[in-house]
């Protein structure tokens, strides 16, 4: 492999590059308002640390508002937090 080749199958586009509609005149503006890696919802451990450790501890739920992530609530554990994150699927429109 070359020095700058990305991992993964060569027939799939990189997920690190956000998708932009060439026909949309506001595409550059919309691109800046998208969350990093197109993740509209995420969860973080309430007391810090890695998200896979201590799965029974509470999680802080965060949602993208167009400019930054803002707190949206809490979940009692990792399973509930993952369920909340996965309610909004990749193909669904953004919540804003």
Position 47 scores a pLDDT of: 86
Contact in structure between 67 and 93 (CB atoms under 8 Å): no
Domain ranges within the chain, ordered by starting residue: 37-85
Count how many residues are written for the chain: 96
pLDDT in tens, 31-86: 677 777 778 899 999 888 887 888 899 999 999 888 889 999 999 999 999 999 99
Query: What's the confidence (pLDDT) of residue 77?
Result: 93
Q: Are 60 and 67 in contact (CB under 8 A)?
A: no
- What was the pLDDT predicted at 26? 81
Let me know the angle formed at the C-alpha of 22 by 20 and 70, rounded to the nearest 5 degrees: 30
**Three-state secondary structure string covering the chain:** CCCCCCCCCCCCCCCCCCCCCCCCCCHHHHHHHCCHHHCCEEEEECCCCCCCCCCCCCEEEEEECCCCEEEEEEECCHHHHHHHHHCCCCCCCCCC
């Amino acid at each position: 492999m070359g020095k700058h080749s990305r991992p993964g199958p060569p027939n799939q586009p990189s997920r690190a590059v956000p998708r932009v509609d060439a026909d949309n005149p506001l595409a550059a503006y919309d691109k800046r308002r998208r969350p990093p890696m197109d993740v509209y919802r995420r969860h973080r451990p309430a007391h810090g640390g890695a998200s896979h450790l201590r799965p029974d501890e509470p999680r802080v739920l965060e949602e993208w508002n167009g400019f930054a992530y803002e707190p949206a609530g809490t979940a009692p554990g990792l399973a509930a937090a993952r369920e909340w994150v996965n309610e909004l699927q990749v193909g669904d429109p953004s919540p804003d």
